[in-house]
Amino acid sequence: MEPVSRRRFLVGSTAGLAGILATRVPPARGQVREVSYLCWNNFAPASDKKMAEIGQRFTKDTGIKLKIDHISHMGPQQAKYASEVQTQAGHDLVEMRMHFPWLYEPQLVDVSDVVTGLEKQYGKALSSSYEGAHVNGVWRAVPQYHGMFVATYREDLFKKASLKVPDTWEDLYTVGKELKKMGNPVGIPISQNYDSISTAGPVLWSFGGMEVDKDGKTVKINSPATAQTIEWYKKMFKDCMEPEVLSWSDASNNESIQQGKAGWIHNPVSAYIIAKQKKLVTADGINHHRSLGGPAGRHETDTPRHIGIWKFSKNVEPAKEWIKYLIGKKENYDEYIMAGDAFNLPVYEKLADHPVLRTDAKYAALRGEGVQYHTYGWPAPPSDKVQLITNTYLLPNMIAKAVTGTSTKDAMAWAEGEMKKIIAG
């Protein structure tokens, strides 16, 4: 390198200072790059700790500061997103679930370059992630992980009472009556939370029903299949469950089986993970099996999560660097997935047989061979309207009305009217 004389250094420094004063823009080298990330409180808390640890390494390796904030699910999260969009200020990155990228499409950066790189590395993203984050031909969020709904049950109680592990929703009614008599009722929430929808969807699909048709425009909730679904819920509520399910949060079914009350719930494996980590007496007795089927087949809920970058972010490139560091660096992504203990499942095809599935024999039900993954609103194509139907909890509200006294006919008519309003815009 050519040595720099004192005179040349002073001339260059003076010219540089003049340029800075003229433009009032400091040199990039002097700026502190920082990104902020808003994500949910994970149901496998160890993965949040691992993300913080990876974030510290990211800062050390890149010089980019990372601020991670966590928020609880449902109402607070939806209100926070709306507030940040309205004020065009807040975090750079946000964790999104299901069809949120469709709902916030105009506010999200095109991240197709990031996803293209990840798919080249790991294979295609799962279809459920594609449905949620690939919006009108553009990736509006980066697939991060997915959580698969299975049945979580007290295997020890089933063996003690010689109960058959159910294969259909009707089988569940049969064993559910016995479980309730034993003081261990079935725990399916019928309230305004995502777990309520994650169960009501598969039940509805398994009876052949749907909310909106494949065209995304025709509301089909008022149907004989929905009536069968509601009648199933009515007898389950009466004979197999406790009224408390009408006020449950997303965490309530987990807590119920962990604390020794519920004998069967429909949920990802987080209830078992927490019971195991906290060394609860129920942990050894908990096991899992595949979600249940019905006259129209077996249909299962998938809950993909993605990372989006707000368009109002002033740190788009550093935000992309963080996503590539977390997911694109294989050793980091593996660490993150392993920390989630099979709650956060890899979302790319080449990672479908990830070692995390072999860490515990009780994760056998998570191996996805033959699984019909559906996101909320299936078979309607993903859209902002589908997400709005989700956000207003019309499916669990319809069921709650029916199990508390409204006729099946009136409950379906009410849901049909509300869904038509949303579809009409």
Q: What is the pLDDT of residues 293-319, one digit of tens each?
A: 999 999 998 889 999 999 999 999 999
Give tens-digit pLDDT for 66-85: 999 998 866 677 789 989 99
Output the pLDDT for position 120. Answer: 98
Q: Give the pLDDT confidence of 147-171 residue by residue, as tens digits.
A: 989 999 999 999 999 999 999 999 9
Alpha-carbon distances of 205 from 84, 98, 168, 213, 299, rounded to whole Å: 35, 18, 12, 12, 6
Task: Please report the pLDDT score of residue 74 as a whole number.
Answer: 60
Instruction: State residue 20's pLDDT score.
Output: 43
pLDDT of res. 28: 46
What tens digit of pLDDT does each residue of 390-400 get?
Answer: 989 999 999 99
Tell whether the model's pLDDT for residue 11 goes beyond 70. no
- Residue at token pair 């299949």: 225
pLDDT, position 31: 65
Alpha-carbon distance of 148 to 151, in angstroms, equals 10
More confident call, 332 vs 250: 332
Confidence of residue 175 (pLDDT cuts 50, 70, 90): very high
Q: Is 306 helix (H, G, I), strand (E, B) or coil?
A: strand
pTM: 0.84
Contact 340, 47 (CB under 8 A): yes
CB of 345 within 8 A of CB of 336?
A: no
Look at residue 97 in the predicted model and tell me its pLDDT: 87
Determine the Cα–Cα distance for residues 349 and 337; give it in Å rounded to an integer.
Answer: 15
Q: For all residues of the chain together, what is the average pLDDT?
A: 91
- Using DSSP bridges, classify how beta strands 373-374 and 150-154 pair: parallel, antiparallel or unpaired: unpaired
